[in-house]
Structure 1
Amino acid sequence: MKAVDNKFGLWTLTWPIFIEVFLQTLLGTVDTIMVSRISDDAVAVVGLAGQLFGALTTLFMTIAGGAGILIAQKIGAKRGEDARTIAIMGLTVSSVIGFGISILLYTQPRALAHMLHLSDDLLPLWDVYVSYFGGGMFLAAMTAALSTAIRNTGNTKAPMFIGIAMNVIHIGMNYVLIFGMFGFPEWGLFGVSVSGNVSRLLAVMFLFYVFIHSFERKIRFADLRIFNLKLFKEIIRIGWPLGLNMSGWVLSQLAIYAFLAILGAMELATRTYLNTLESFCFMLGYAFALAIQIQVAHLYGAAKTREAYQGAFRALYIGLAVVTANALLLLLVGKYLLSLFTTDPEILALGHSLLVLNLILQPAKMLNMAINNALNAVGDTRYTMVTALVSMSVIATGCSYWLGIHAGWGLIGIYCCMITDEVVRGIVVLRRWKGQKYLRRAEVPLSREPSSNLHQTFMPSS
């Protein structure tokens, strides 16, 4: 018998995720370029609003993420009805949270702008974008819940195809509505909001169709009223540390961007350009990390602890090879790619220095993310949360200010702190995974069965 069901195989899970992320990143870059044709102010508003949306997204991703892990676990344990119930609750609760966020963004854009110290000259653009694009945040919540649930049933292809279509429609509508093509009005940033919400609505419709057919028993509209308190507590138990972890990361990134703003426009622009290039560099590693979370959760639910333990390392080794090769390639062609964004010699020189450091940063991120996701998959989310919050607060944020601002190392110093944060967290979670605390716990019920021989096949701690 195969150790892993075919649809939960590492490559089977990984390649659709990679294609989806790659095209989303590519189209996101195109989207940014198109918005830049409106004005630099429009880009600034979209960038800052994106950080705000990212922070608020963690509220419903807490539920969607916890539900996704449990869906894979329950399917692995042959408890399909529980997986179905969890998926329904993940959708309904995430949607309710999304509606609350939408109301906040639609009614209070000006209050949020003042909280973020946005300059007065950007307020008109901010009001339009946050009110209308942010007002559709409930669609983002539904998309996240639906796609996460579907992926964790082992079907990563459907979210890929739908995600691709959604982004193509968004870019096409941007072109028409931003610039007023084919007789349509020239709506500028409002057009971006309209195209974004229309594409998200279409994505929700198609994802929902796949969602209701993703389990052994078809989900009907009446089933959306289902609420199982015991299973919901399981979602919260796994999900709330994930939410705090994501919130900590978002706040850390906001703080680092604030430090960059102190350094000046050149450093802020350089980091923005490097962030785009690094996204392309790491996306295949990210796909492996997300795939291993789904696979390990499924194996953990099936009590195949040896396969889960070994599978995380297999994905890690492949991911390390891939991201290291990508980082080296990016270093070789980085100056040319940076020249597509800017001709400023200072930015080009600083960017090339950061690409050298990127050779260390990307493997460190791969180690941290792969093993961190493996621990999350078995339910060890509190440990990863504490580890992340401490390291991001002290090293990524605190040391970045000390070394980058106070000591005068600038963006190079901040990058060194980012690398140190990833390395420290990677080493800590690796030691935790090797200790196999949750994997051993999963075997306790089965080890009591007379016919069980799992103690003979379990991978000993390294």
Structure 2
Amino acid sequence: MKQFWKDKKFLKDMLVIAIPIALQNLITSSLNMVDTLMISELGKSSIAAVGLANQLFFFYSLIIFGINSGSSIFISQFWGKNDTENIKRVLGLAVSLSALSGLIFTMVAFFCPEIVMRFFIKEEIVVRLGSDYLRIVSLSYIITGISFAFSIASRSIGHPKMPMVVSAISFITNTIFNYLLIFGHFGFPELGVKGAAYGTLIARIVEISFILYFVYTGIKPLAATLKELTDWTKEFVNRYLKTTYPVIINETFWALGQVMYSAAYARMGAEATAAVQVASTIQNIFFVMVRGLANACTVMVGNKIGAGDEEEAYNYAIQFLTMSTIAGLALGAILGLTPDLTLKLFRNLELDVYNLSRKLLMVAGIFYFIRTFNSTLIVGVLRGGGDTSFSMYLEMGAVWLIGVPLAFIGVLLLKLPVYIVFILVSFEEIVKAVIGLPRVKSKKWIRNIT
């Protein structure tokens, strides 16, 4: 097996897919950074409110990520066989399931925002601000689900530039309207956190408009009619669900686990909640390269399996895991050693929030390379290879048997500071790596599902 730095074809194919995806994730994470930076000007209650309110969207986004990750397994392998008819059928299922999920979350967020906020925190000012934000931003959920389905399908057939360009347009739109509506510049009303919600809604409308325009004018394999999108047989739907339901369940319960972590941190008050939001925003900026690698791995491994080249699929998997570990070590060192530099972006952070954020970033840097390894292992290798059931049991077991219990033990029983609780939670990553690596070496994850 060639080392990845000597395999020119591997590097070329990987960079063509990974760079646009990484740039798209950088744009998305930068958008979250800009949101948090602007909202931090309003104080820690506003940071905590928007951060906790967005846990519902985070939960929803991971469900639609599960739906579309499962779909991308099929689309990648069908693309390897040049089967565009089935690509359109899978896209139609992904759009339908994403929109249906969006409708459910929209109804919860629009009609019951106070219940959602009080699940996390009891501070009335945080509940009120978060509820105001949720009612408005919930109107973007269905739009986001449909956009997500087309974006991931586009990546899976070798068109990653389109989602990147559209994300850039969405980023600019959101930033402009946040600036105008949060602070009331140039004659616009000063709406605070409501302004951030309206900015997001406007950006999502612009985003879906451009995605549909680009797809139906330039990406023929996805430019399907309504009949082509819904031309399903019972056997086709069953085959789709058999492979994708473990991914959907995996992402749903993994996301619910992350929500439970947020609930645990929120028990410590607005300071800890705001610090976690700030630290997570910075971590996500550092994670963009690894997301690009993981998604490129899904596509390239899936293409090789679909084309019947299973040995090359295994070689690709090992090369991606090696790259993600090296990247994780480098990025983790930077993240852990430069917290004061990254936190300078948040000029008006209160001292207690600043100090907690600093410690969280230092701890995150230590565990970063394991996190990047696991991201590629689960999203890239196991799912790209069609081994969705094993990845489901691995991730759900680590989160719910280790991470969540340790989080609440640390917060409620031991009364530990938030950065020590974060260390306890990170043990789930060690378990995933220890169990997942032997599975990769066994090659049992390589399954041609098409």
TM-score between both structures, scaled by the size of structure 2: 0.88
The RMSD of aligned alpha carbons is 2.9
Which stretch has the larger CA shift, 309-318 or 176-185?
Answer: 176-185
- Provide the rounded CA distance (Å) in 2 between the counterparts of 1:403 and 1:190: 34
Which stretch has the larger CA shift, 390-399 or 328-337?
Answer: 328-337
Q: Which amino acid in structure 2 is aligned with residue 210 of structure 1? A: F
Kindly indicate whether residue 401 of structure 2 is the aligned counterpart of residue 394 of structure 1: yes
* Post-superposition CA distance 1:220-272 (Å, at most 9, x none): 34434433333322332222222222222222223323333344555444433
Measured at CA, do residues 274 and 115 of structure 1 come closer, stay the same or move farther in structure 2, by a change above 3 Å? closer
Kindly indicate whether residue 50 of structure 2 is the aligned counterpart of residue 23 of structure 1: no
2:422 is matched with 415
Measured at CA, do residues 63 and 233 of structure 1 come closer, stay the same or move farther in structure 2, by a change above 3 Å? farther
Q: Displacement, 1:31?
A: 1.4
Which stretch has the larger CA shift, 197-206 or 408-417?
Answer: 408-417
Which stretch has the larger CA shift, 302-311 or 158-167?
Answer: 302-311
Q: 1:210 aligns with which of 207, 214, 217?
A: 214
Measured at CA, do residues 225 and 256 of structure 1 come closer, stay the same or move farther in structure 2, by a change above 3 Å? closer
* Post-superposition CA distance 1:363-393 (Å, at most 9, x none): 1012211111210112211111111111111
Measured at CA, do residues 249 and 216 of structure 1 come closer, stay the same or move farther in structure 2, by a change above 3 Å? closer
Q: 1:433 aligns with which of 406, 425, 440?
A: 440
Measured at CA, do residues 392 and 97 of structure 1 come closer, stay the same or move farther in structure 2, by a change above 3 Å? closer
Q: Displacement, 1:336?
A: 2.9
Kindly indicate whether residue 51 of structure 2 is the aligned counterpart of residue 47 of structure 1: yes
1:370 is matched with 376
Measured at CA, do residues 132 and 81 of structure 1 come closer, stay the same or move farther in structure 2, by a change above 3 Å? same
Q: Displacement, 1:111?
A: 4.1
1:329 is matched with 334
Kindly indicate whether residue 160 of structure 2 is the aligned counterpart of residue 165 of structure 1: no
Which stretch has the larger CA shift, 376-385 or 88-97?
Answer: 88-97
- Provide the rounded CA distance (Å) in 2 between the counterparts of 1:78 and 1:31: 41
Kindly indicate whether residue 159 of structure 2 is the aligned counterpart of residue 155 of structure 1: yes
Which stretch has the larger CA shift, 94-103 or 145-154?
Answer: 94-103
Measured at CA, do residues 75 and 7 of structure 1 come closer, stay the same or move farther in structure 2, by a change above 3 Å? farther
Measured at CA, do residues 258 and 99 of structure 1 come closer, stay the same or move farther in structure 2, by a change above 3 Å? closer
The answer to whether the 8 A contact 1:80-1:215 is kept is no
* Post-superposition CA distance 1:289-320 (Å, at most 9, x none): 12111211111111111111111111121222
The answer to whether the 8 A contact 2:410-2:421 is kept is yes
1:179 is matched with 183
Measured at CA, do residues 216 and 244 of structure 1 come closer, stay the same or move farther in structure 2, by a change above 3 Å? closer
Measured at CA, do residues 113 and 377 of structure 1 come closer, stay the same or move farther in structure 2, by a change above 3 Å? same
Q: Which amino acid in structure 2 is aligned with residue 125 of structure 1? A: L
Q: Which amino acid in structure 2 is aligned with residue 82 of structure 1? A: N
1:77 is matched with 81
- Provide the rounded CA distance (Å) in 2 between the counterparts of 1:103 and 1:152: 31
Q: Which has the higher contact order (CA 8 A, sep 6+)?
A: 2
Q: Which amino acid in structure 2 is aligned with residue 437 of structure 1? A: K
Which stretch has the larger CA shift, 111-120 or 233-242?
Answer: 111-120
Measured at CA, do residues 186 and 268 of structure 1 come closer, stay the same or move farther in structure 2, by a change above 3 Å? closer
Measured at CA, do residues 87 and 7 of structure 1 come closer, stay the same or move farther in structure 2, by a change above 3 Å? farther
- Provide the rounded CA distance (Å) in 1 between the counterparts of 2:107 and 2:419: 40
Determine which structure has more spread, i.e. the larger CA radius of gyration: 1
- Provide the rounded CA distance (Å) in 1 between the counterparts of 2:357 and 2:126: 28
Q: The residue matched to 2:48 in structure 1 has which SS?
A: helix
- Provide the rounded CA distance (Å) in 2 between the counterparts of 1:260 and 1:96: 31
- Provide the rounded CA distance (Å) in 1 between the counterparts of 2:265 and 2:110: 29
Q: The residue matched to 1:437 in structure 2 has which SS?
A: coil
Which stretch has the larger CA shift, 364-373 or 238-247?
Answer: 238-247
The answer to whether the 8 A contact 1:364-1:419 is kept is no
Q: The residue matched to 1:78 in structure 2 has which SS?
A: coil
TM-score between both structures, scaled by the size of structure 1: 0.86
Percent identical pairs in the alignment equals 22
The answer to whether the 8 A contact 2:398-2:431 is kept is yes
1:238 is matched with 243
Measured at CA, do residues 54 and 359 of structure 1 come closer, stay the same or move farther in structure 2, by a change above 3 Å? closer
Q: Which amino acid in structure 2 is aligned with residue 296 of structure 1? A: V
- Provide the rounded CA distance (Å) in 1 between the counterparts of 2:408 and 2:115: 28
- How is 1:306-317 mapped onto 2 (pairs within 5 angstroms)? 306-317=311-322
- Provide the rounded CA distance (Å) in 1 between the counterparts of 2:10 and 2:227: 32
Give the gaps of 5 or more residues in structure 1: 446-462
The answer to whether the 8 A contact 2:45-2:270 is kept is no
Q: Displacement, 1:77?
A: 2.5
2:224 is matched with 219
The answer to whether the 8 A contact 2:386-2:448 is kept is no
1:88 is matched with 92
* Post-superposition CA distance 1:388-444 (Å, at most 9, x none): 1111112212123335653455334323323321121012111111111142x549x
The answer to whether the 8 A contact 1:10-1:315 is kept is no
Q: The residue matched to 2:251 in structure 1 has which SS?
A: helix
- Provide the rounded CA distance (Å) in 2 between the counterparts of 1:360 and 1:6: 30
The answer to whether the 8 A contact 1:281-1:323 is kept is no
Q: Displacement, 1:56?
A: 2.8
Kindly indicate whether residue 343 of structure 2 is the aligned counterpart of residue 338 of structure 1: yes
- Provide the rounded CA distance (Å) in 2 between the counterparts of 1:204 and 1:195: 15
- Provide the rounded CA distance (Å) in 2 between the counterparts of 1:401 and 1:124: 25
- How is 1:287-306 mapped onto 2 (pairs within 5 angstroms)? 287-306=292-311
Kindly indicate whether residue 19 of structure 2 is the aligned counterpart of residue 12 of structure 1: no
Q: Which amino acid in structure 1 is aligned with residue 183 of structure 2? A: F
- Provide the rounded CA distance (Å) in 2 between the counterparts of 1:194 and 1:31: 12
The answer to whether the 8 A contact 1:335-1:348 is kept is no
Q: The residue matched to 1:328 in structure 2 has which SS?
A: helix
